[in-house]
Amino acid sequence: MSLNLNDKKAVVAEVSAKVATAQTIVVAEYRGIQVGHLTQLRASARAQGVYMRVLKNTLARRAVEGTAFASLASEMTGPLIYAISEDAVAAAKVVQDFAKSNDKLVVKAGNYAGKSLDKAGVVALASIPSREVLLAQVVGMMQAPVSAFARALAAVAAQKEAGSPAAPVAEEAAEAAAE
């Protein structure tokens, strides 16, 4: 079913709006994938906040024209599915995770913040932990010294209550940790 001119303009406007707020676009060839598998891919993309759509390549080229993603236009050939996300790694993760389990989805190229990525670049981008995971790791690293100090103080308090002769040694260790 072909689109009339107004439908094409609407599609270009919709995709252009998504591209305007995007950080990453990943394109993959989906030739030979069953409809049920594509439905699973789209559901996974929705859950991750990724806009995923099969588009005519000419319409996709018009949507990225004049944006930081314009360099991706040269890769837009063949039957492609487009994954667009505001999160820097979400689109790459969704496509790469699905490609691991379905060899018919072939990652073709991508673009992150205006920089073109080949297949290896998309795979590398997908391997980066999400923002939430990175923040949790930073908080964990910041808490480690404080929690170690708290455990040392608790050990000193326990030894003092027990009247242990090793209490002065533990106090010195706690004071050294505090400095």
71-83 pLDDT per residue, tens: 888 888 888 899 9
User: CA 114, CA 107: separation in Å to the nearest integer?
Assistant: 18
Which run of H or E residues covers position 92? Answer: helix 90-101
User: CA 113, CA 109: separation in Å to the nearest integer?
Assistant: 14
User: CA 154, CA 139: separation in Å to the nearest integer?
Assistant: 22
109-119 pLDDT per residue, tens: 888 888 888 88
Number of H helices, E strands in the chain: 7, 5
pLDDT at 174: 56
Q: What percent of the chain has pLDDT over 90?
A: 6
Phi and psi at 81, nearest 5°, equal: -115, 135
Residue 177 has pLDDT above 70, yes or no: no
Residue 165 has pLDDT above 70, yes or no: no
Residue 126 has pLDDT above 70, yes or no: yes
Token couple for 161: 């209550």
Residue 127 has pLDDT above 60, yes or no: yes
pLDDT at 43: 92
Residues in CB range of 90: below 8 A, 6 or more apart: 24, 48, 49, 50, 130
26-41 pLDDT per residue, tens: 999 988 888 999 899 8
Radius of gyration of the chain (CA): 26
pLDDT at 131: 73
User: CA 82, CA 54: separation in Å to the nearest integer?
Assistant: 6
Contact by Cβ (8 Å): 170, 155: yes
CA torsion, ordered 70, 74, 76, 78, to nearest 10 deg = 180
pTM of the model: 0.69
pLDDT at 55: 86
Residue 166 has pLDDT above 70, yes or no: no
Residue 176 has pLDDT above 80, yes or no: no
pLDDT at 27: 92
